[in-house]
Chains A and B, each alone.
Chain A
Amino acid sequence: MKRKIVTVGIIIVCFLLECTVFQQLSFASITPNLMIIVTSSFGFMRGRKEGMLVGFISGLLIDIMFHDLIGFYALIYTVIGFANGLFRKIFYDDDIKLPLILIASSDFLYGHLVCICMFVMRSKFNYFYYLRSIILPELIYTILVTLVFYEIILHINKKLESEEKRSASKFV
Chain B
Amino acid sequence: MRKNNNQTSFSSKYLLLTLSVICVLLMGVSLVTDKIHGPFKAIANYTIVPMQNGINTIGLWMSDLTQNMDTLKEMRKKNKALQAEVDELTIKNNLLQQEKHELERLRELYALDAHYGDYKKIGAHVTANDSGNWFSSFVIDKGKKDGIKVDMNVIAGTGLVGIVTEVGPNWSRVRSIIDDASNVSALVLSTSDTCIVNGDLTLMQDGRIRFEQLANNETEIEVGEQVVTSHISSKYLQGILIGYVSEIHVDPNNLTRSGYIIPAVDFQHLQEVLVITSTKADLLEE
Interface set of A (CB-CB < 8 Å, partner B): 12, 15-21, 23-25, 28-31, 33, 35, 47-49, 52-53, 56, 59-72, 74-75, 78-79, 82, 85, 114-115, 118-119, 122, 124, 126, 129-130, 133-134, 138
Contacts and interface: CB of A to CB of B under 8 A. Distances in A.
B135 A66 contact: yes
Contact of B268 (A21, A29, A71, A126): A29
19 contacts: A12-B48, A16-B51, A16-B52, A23-B128, A53-B19, A60-B40, A64-B43, A65-B48, A65-B128, A65-B139, A65-B173, A68-B166, A70-B30, A71-B26, A75-B19, A114-B134, A119-B180, A130-B201, A138-B133
Given A18-B131, A78-B16, A124-B180, A64 B44 contact: yes
Given A29-B268, A78-B16, A70 B51 contact: no
Interface of B: 8-9, 11-12, 15-16, 19-20, 22-27, 29-31, 36-37, 40-41, 43-44, 47-48, 51-52, 55-56, 58-60, 62-63, 66, 127-135, 137, 139, 165-166, 173, 180-181, 201-202, 204-205, 268
B63 A24 contact: yes
B131 A35 contact: yes
Contacts of A75: 19-20, 23-24, 27
A114 to B, nearest CB: 5
What is the interface of chain B mostly: helix, strand, loop, or mixed?
Answer: helix
Given A12-B51, A70-B36, A134 B128 contact: no
Contacts of B129: 19-20, 23
Nearest to B128: A19
Given A65-B44, A66-B135, A29 B55 contact: no
B210 to A, nearest CB: 12
Contacts of B268: 29
Contact of B205 (A25, A67, A122, A133): A133
B131 A134 contact: no
B33 to A, nearest CB: 11
A129 B202 contact: yes
A85 B12 contact: yes
A75 B30 CA distance: 14
B134 A69 contact: no
Nearest to B27: A71
B263 to A, nearest CB: 14
A125 to B, nearest CB: 11
Contacts of A138: 133
